[in-house]
Amino acid sequence: MTGYKHTRANAALIVLMLSLIGCADGEDTATALRSFACLPSADIKVVCGLQNPEDLVLYDDDGGWLLISQMSGGDFASAPGSLIAWQPESGRRQRLWPPEAQTLSDAIRDEAHWGDPTCPQPAQFSPHGIDLGTRPDGASVLLVVNHRAEGVASIEFFALQSVADAPQLEWRGCVMAVPGAVMNDVVAAGNGFIASRMYSVPMPAWRGFLMATMRLNTGSVHEWQPAEGWREIPNSAGALPNGLALSSNGQTLFVHQYFDQQLLKLNRLSGELLGSLPIVHGDNLSWTADGSLLSASHPAGLEEMSICHELENGACLSDMLIQRIEPQSLRITHAFHHRGEPFGMATVAVERGGEIYVGSFRADRIAHFPVERLQAVEP
């Protein structure tokens, strides 16, 4: 999902609209959706002291780490974002980017450029979607959607390696998005990447309201490669394109169309629609070790989503739904639904060591629970 100044204004107006037509319950609803005590429940454990952990990826070298994208709090100047690493077994945390006690310009070295040579170094860092991939030469690359300013987005390339038994990042270049594009997620693809464009600014609040209620196309999915530059994936347009996943052979692309409430399966090159699956408000996607997809979604109404956008601390307790999907048939095999303390509004789920780890775009924590909590779904 999103978390920027213009989006927060849209969310506030949507809450007002819903109140005026009798769909909102004001302070009672807002209070019920907020959690300030970061405490575990019988089913769900929490890791506290984070900032909007919107996306997570696994880094299995040196004992296993989770790389966490901590989104901006909505105001770039007062609450910039960061990338951190967390090791579940030891509880060890490490700030990855920007490095401690360094400005962005101090941390960036003059190394081989993996992106567009004309892309300027970032002066602002506010991460969103992230993905860990392997380049054709074998180097590990962490790709990051970076919101440099309102309507100014870039995809950042980082070399990832282990130093002293811990992950370390080195900035290796970037690619600027089309002006005005509000990007969301990214997946590695060879020497380039594929990224989802939710919409472009300026977008008036009334248009956002129509987008939600009428499922109007607002964005699409785009691929960038060094030689070819940008191209739009055919048939990828939809109402708020969101999370992405690319098959291991690089041929099949999975796209969560947020307000269309569909998971699309597309041929990456031609855009041929290979299948679709209804998913209510699907956010990020991840692969499991057995080749299944994990889908994180938050099947709440517009009122609750808008209230959660406005949270500045604590966590949102709206519904979260984690589903395991067989990618060939697009069949949901297992699911976990939760509402209430201590966590909700899931934006990503990853499986590691028998646990499911879950992040959110509005939370001061991540949650985790045993994989056995995913219940089998009858065909």
Q: Fill in the amino acid letter for 206.
A: W
Structural contact between residues 371 and 351, judged by C-beta atoms closer than 8 angstroms: yes
Residue 370: predicted pLDDT: 97
Q: Name the DSSP class of 364.
A: S
Query: What pLDDT sits at residue 219?
Result: 92
The C-alpha atoms of residue 330 and residue 248 are separated, in whole angstroms, by 16
pLDDT for the residue numbered 17: 46
Contact 68, 81 (CB under 8 A): no
Q: Would you state the pLDDT for residue 274?
A: 98
In sequence order, what are the residues at sequence separation of 6 or more whose Cβ sits closer than 8 angstroms to the Cβ of residue 343? 35, 44, 46, 315, 317, 320, 358, 360, 363, 365, 366, 367
* Whole-prediction pTM: 0.91
pLDDT value at residue 177: 96
d(CA 366, CA 375): 21
Which pLDDT belongs to residue 18?
44
In this prediction, residue 1 carries a pLDDT of 55
- Beta-strand pair 82-87/181-189: unpaired
Radius of gyration of the chain (CA): 19
**Coil, helix or strand at residue 104:** helix
Residue 9 is predicted with a pLDDT of 46
The pLDDT of residue 19 = 43
Task: Judge whether 159 and 172 are in contact, CB under 8 Å.
Answer: yes
Summary count for the chain: helices (H), strands (E): 5, 27
Residue 123 confidence (pLDDT):
87
Q: What is the pLDDT of residue 124?
A: 87
> What's the domain count of the chain?
1
Do the Cβ atoms of 147 and 72 come closer than 8 Å? yes
- 372, 107 contact by CB (below 8 A): no
For residue 313, what pLDDT is reported?
Answer: 85
Element (H, E) at 31: helix 26-32
Say what the pLDDT of residue 139 is.
94
Counting as low any pLDDT under 70, the low residues of the chain are 1-28, 61-63, 74-79, 101-112, 204-206, 208-209, 212-213
Q: What is the pLDDT of residue 62?
A: 58
pLDDT at 21: 41
| Residues 276 and 292 sit within 8 Å (Cβ to Cβ) | no
pLDDT value of position 303: 81
Measured between alpha carbons, how far is 191 from 134 in angstroms, rounded to an integer? Answer: 9
pLDDT tens across 145-164, in order? 999 987 789 999 999 998 88
Which pLDDT belongs to residue 163?
Answer: 86
Q: Domain containing 74 — which CATH number? A: 2.120.10.30
Give me the chain's average pLDDT, please: 87
Domain of residue 332, residue span: 5-376
